[in-house]
Amino acid sequence: MLNLILDFGNTRYKLALFEQDDLIYQSSGIELNTSDLLKLKLDYPTLKSTIFSSVIELKPDLKSFLLTDFQAIELSHLTPIPIQNQYQTPATLGKDRLAAAVAAAMLYPKSNVLIIDAGSSITYDLITEKGNYIGGGISLGIQMRFKALHHFTGKLPLISQTYEQIELVGKNTEESIRSGVLNGLLHEVDGIIHAYKSIHNDILVLITGGDLKYFDKNLKNNIFAAENLVLQGLNFILKYNDNKKA
């Protein structure tokens, strides 16, 4: 049986097809239309179940199609999940953070896991060896830091992203901004990892998100790249709910 997984972010969506736990198809884009889903159903006739997570308001026709033409789950804080969510304000918890925590617990059972999602913001999330999601932290992402320096100062230019290693000493304004933002963020993330390791010295560190390749190459700590962690978590949640119905 195939599962359709949809993750709608602020600027892009991600779409994936899972056969059990195997990712067999993946795409992403700016806008998803009902016609795209109709074509997908024609290409994969056994496709019936879907879960969708969104931080934006979906187009009414798209949402209606998902809810009527699929056995659909719209992820919320009320959706049953296979871990214990101990966040004090579950309704405000980002759905991507929750899905990533589920994936970490399922992929690495009986392990303490720190999840770092390096996207528009940098999030840190802790799942314990007992399968309890505790919480974490939220910080500014790379591009957000560049934009803040440009927006809140009179003369600093807006710098574009790069994944190259940056020298510590910038020789001009652009290099200095890159050094301050990128080297500063690397030390921040390494410091946060060390702080979590002081609590759980056996902790496993996973990194995901759009900027993972920069951190994967440059962090000093031993980390594991998990590019599709959120999609995997959504698939685990869908399977968990399907099994509850069986």
pLDDT score, position 22: 93
pLDDT score, position 242: 87
* CATH code for position 42: 3.30.420.40
pLDDT at 160 over 90: no
Do residue 107 and residue 161 come from a single domain?
yes
How far, in Å, CA of 39 to CA of 205, rounded? 38
How far, in Å, CA of 16 to CA of 188, rounded? 32
Do residue 168 and residue 203 come from a single domain?
yes
Do residue 46 and residue 95 come from a single domain?
no
Active-site option among 7, 96, 117, 125: 96
pLDDT score, position 1: 79
Closest CA to 7 of 238, 200, 220: 238
pLDDT score, position 32: 94
Torsion of CA 54, 235, 97, 162, to 10 degrees: -80
- Whole-structure pTM value: 0.92
Is residue 242 annotated as a catalytic residue, yes or no? Answer: no
Amino acid at residue number 96: D
pLDDT score, position 72: 95
Q: Are strands 224-225 and 204-208 parallel, antiparallel or unpaired?
A: parallel
Do residue 91 and residue 52 come from a single domain?
no
How far, in Å, CA of 136 to CA of 133, rounded? 9
Residue 70's domain comprises 2-74
pLDDT score, position 246: 61
Percent of the chain with pLDDT over 70: 100
Confidence of residue 178 (pLDDT cuts 50, 70, 90): very high
Answer with the one of 53, 74, 95 that is the final residue of a domain.
Answer: 74
pLDDT score, position 97: 95
pLDDT at 233 over 90: yes
pLDDT at 165 over 80: no
Residue entry with tokens 């969708």? 52
The residue-averaged pLDDT of 25-29 equals 94
Tens digit of each residue's pLDDT (9 = 90 or more) over 179-230? 999 999 999 999 999 999 999 989 999 999 888 888 877 787 788 889 999 9
Do residue 111 and residue 205 come from a single domain?
yes
The residue-averaged pLDDT of 120-128 equals 95
Higher per-residue confidence, 163 vs 155: 155
Do residue 151 and residue 204 come from a single domain?
yes
pLDDT score, position 28: 94
Do residue 60 and residue 88 come from a single domain?
no
Give the SS3 label for residue 145: helix
How distant, in Å, are the alpha carbons of 103, 106, 140, 214 from that of 205?
Answer: 13, 15, 19, 15
Closest CA to 142 of 165, 117, 124, 121: 121
The residue-averaged pLDDT of 163-190 equals 90
How distant, in Å, are the alpha carbons of 67, 227, 243 from that of 73?
Answer: 8, 23, 13
Strand ranges (E), the chain? 2-8, 13-19, 22-29, 49-54, 71-74, 84-85, 113-118, 121-127, 132-140, 204-208, 224-225
Do residue 122 and residue 215 come from a single domain?
yes
Do residue 68 and residue 118 come from a single domain?
no
pLDDT score, position 74: 96
Tally the domains of the chain.
2
